[in-house]
A and B are shown apart, each in its own frame.
Chain A
Amino acid sequence: MAYGTFTEVFFYLFVTLIIFGALVAVSSPILMKAVMGLAMAMFGVAGLYLYLNSPFLALMQILIYVGAVCIMIVFGIMVGYTPKELAAYAVGPKNTVLALIASLLTIGVLQFGILKTVWVQASGAGAGDYSLAHLGETLMVRYGLAFELISVVLLIAIVGAVAITWNGKRGGLSK
């Protein structure tokens, strides 16, 4: 029982980390601080995976989201516009409303998906094969097409990034 409450403490610690990090990410006017908040939230998510006894997923979360995605965002900030240039683009109430709608929609869709899915318990009696080897095989064979489509999305993102920089080279923010 004591062991259970001990791990509970960690659960709430990670949740606090996620919420605090997310709040920093959305409320900080300094972009670098916002990225650090995001990294903190990602760490929290990795901690939750660890809490759920999935170390592989937790480490991948750190490797990809903290080590790569956050760094990429910082890259974007560094090569992007200076704070002075950004200040010229004041965020009006229209943006706030649009952002609110977009985030609420995302939450709604995710929540719908989570509530609609019938979750199978991975551990315990009658559970199927949930090992990493099985996961890898499923991803590469059974859902191979979906997996490849995701990489096409990434390719489009790269092309888009090149296109945006190309434009920036000529005219900058004012086009």
Chain B
Amino acid sequence: MPPELLRMIIAAVLVVSFVFLNAMVLGYMERKVSAHIQRRPGLMEVGPHGVLQLIIDGLKLIGKQLVVPEGSNKFLFRLAPLLSFAPCVLPFVVIPFSRKLQIVSMDVSLIFILAMTSINVVAILVAGWASNNKYSLFGTFRSVAQAVSYEIPMLLSLLSIILMTSTFSLQGIIAAQKYYWFILVQPLAFIIYFISGLAETNRAPFDLPEAESELTAGFHTEYSGMGFSFFFLAEYANMFTVCSIATILFLGGWKGIPLPLGDFTGIVWFMLKVYGLLFVMIWARWTYPRVRFDQLMSFCWKYLIPFALANLLITAVVVKLI
């Protein structure tokens, strides 16, 4: 077997298992953090402090029957979870976890990640439409409108960093933060990116596409068993991707104070930063109530986009002058 093929297979296995592990860790984290925010113990039964609960949940989901509703488009209905899951795994291929740990080094890795995350909208659309359910369809309407709107400030805020570094390579962007993190010079871009990231991943307070109290479960109402699990995995993988881009572009990536861990120092710092941001995401979900749809739209078009444009303009002028 050629070594390159072997490397690809190992990488694929590692990436997929990391996505599953990430979903388990985040699922546990979300339930525990939400519990403590609401002053209750949360998961306690399975294992010490309920750490094994997510494994049991996973087994339960695998064992469940996948129900295809009557009158739905069967082919598209079955296709949607896979369409949602597959592109969410791919960004992990180009994310630099440390100086050495990066599966593929691309010149355009940032664009690669953005392109892959944009496919997720198509999956939501297919899922909602194929379900033949009004809740699903409403969730899809909202999700698509939201994703298309919030992609603009997201890209604009990333563009100001690109202007400063003039590279799309993630390792290059980390290397450009040699003396200071970009959050110090681009705080507004960071805030805009993080808010848009929350909206892009359909997280509260922007979780209108699933809005339990209004739409049952939004676009994945009709999905059971592994169909639902794939959406669940994709959501957590997307959250990880959004936070790792924020870490790489604004928080110096894997750089940090040297620890006596050798090559693992970078990975430890990277994971600490990413999971710190993920904690903030979960914290926000259990702190703020859901926004109304008109508020969501006007916030994006009237505040985020003008501010992002102004930030980009100022960055361009400053970069040109220096």
Q: Give complex CA distance A32, B126 in Å.
A: 8
Is B111 within 8 A of A71, CB to CB? no
Task: Decide yes or no whether A59 CB sits under 8 A from chain B.
Answer: yes
Is A71 within 8 A of B108, CB to CB? no
Q: How distant is A25 from chain B, measured CB to nearest CB, in Å?
A: 14
Is B148 within 8 A of A75, CB to CB? yes
Is A66 within 8 A of B118, CB to CB? yes
Q: Give complex CA distance A59, B116 in Å.
A: 9
Is A63 within 8 A of B76, CB to CB? no
Is A68 within 8 A of B148, CB to CB? yes
Is B112 within 8 A of A71, CB to CB? no
Task: Decide yes or no whether A56 CB sits under 8 A from chain B.
Answer: yes
Q: Give complex CA distance A39, B76 in Å.
A: 13
Please tell me which one of the listed residues A32, A33, A59, A75 contacts residue B111 in the complex, with CB atoms under 8 A apart: A59
Is B108 within 8 A of A74, CB to CB? no
Question: Which residue of the partner chain A has the closest CB to B79?
Answer: A36
Bitwise interface map of B from 71 to 88 toward A, beta carbon under 8 Å scored 1, else 0 = 001001000000000000
Q: Give complex CA distance A36, B114 in Å.
A: 20
Q: Give complex CA distance A68, B144 in Å.
A: 10
Contacts A39-B122, A74-B144 given: A32-B115 contact, CB under 8 Å?
no
Please tell me which one of the listed residues A55, A62, A72, A78 contacts residue B119 in the complex, with CB atoms under 8 A apart: A62
Q: Give complex CA distance A75, B148 in Å.
A: 10
Q: How distant is B196 from chain A, measured CB to nearest CB, in Å?
A: 15
Task: Decide yes or no whether B135 CB sits under 8 A from chain A.
Answer: no
Please tell me which one of the listed residues B106, B108, B119, B129 contacts residue A67 in the complex, with CB atoms under 8 A apart: B119
Bitwise interface map of A from 15 to 52 toward B, beta carbon under 8 Å scored 1, else 0 = 00000000000000000110010010000000000000
Question: Which residue of the partner chain A has the closest CB to B75?
Answer: A33
Q: How distant is B199 from chain A, measured CB to nearest CB, in Å?
A: 15
Question: Which residue of the partner chain B has the closest CB to A62?
Answer: B115
Q: Give complex CA distance A63, B112 in Å.
A: 9
Collect the chain B residues with CB atoms within 8 Å of residue A62's CB: 115-116, 118-119
Question: Which residue of the partner chain A has the closest CB to B168?
Answer: A56
Is B126 within 8 A of A71, CB to CB? no
For this complex, into which size category does the number of interface residues on chain A fall?
10 to 19
Task: Decide yes or no whether B232 CB sits under 8 A from chain A.
Answer: no
Task: Decide yes or no whether B281 CB sits under 8 A from chain A.
Answer: no
Is B125 within 8 A of A74, CB to CB? yes
Of residues A33, A63, A75, A78, which shows the largest number of chain B Cβ atoms within 10 Å of its Cβ?
A: A63
Collect the chain B residues with CB atoms within 8 Å of residue A75's CB: 144-145, 148
Known: A67-B122, A70-B122, A71-B147. 13 other contacts (CB 8 A): A32-B129, A33-B73, A36-B76, A56-B108, A59-B108, A59-B112, A60-B115, A62-B116, A66-B119, A67-B151, A68-B151, A71-B125, A74-B144
Q: A residues near B, CB below 8 A? A: 32-33, 36, 39, 55-56, 59-60, 62-63, 66-68, 70-72, 74-75, 78
Which 6 pairs, one residue from A and one from B, show the smallest C-beta to C-beta distance? A67-B118, A62-B115, A63-B115, A59-B115, A59-B111, A56-B108
30 contacts between A and B (CB under 8 A): A32-B76, A32-B129, A36-B126, A39-B122, A55-B108, A55-B112, A56-B111, A59-B108, A59-B111, A60-B111, A62-B115, A62-B116, A63-B111, A63-B114, A63-B115, A63-B118, A66-B119, A66-B122, A67-B118, A67-B121, A67-B122, A67-B151, A68-B151, A71-B125, A71-B144, A72-B148, A74-B125, A74-B144, A78-B141, A78-B144
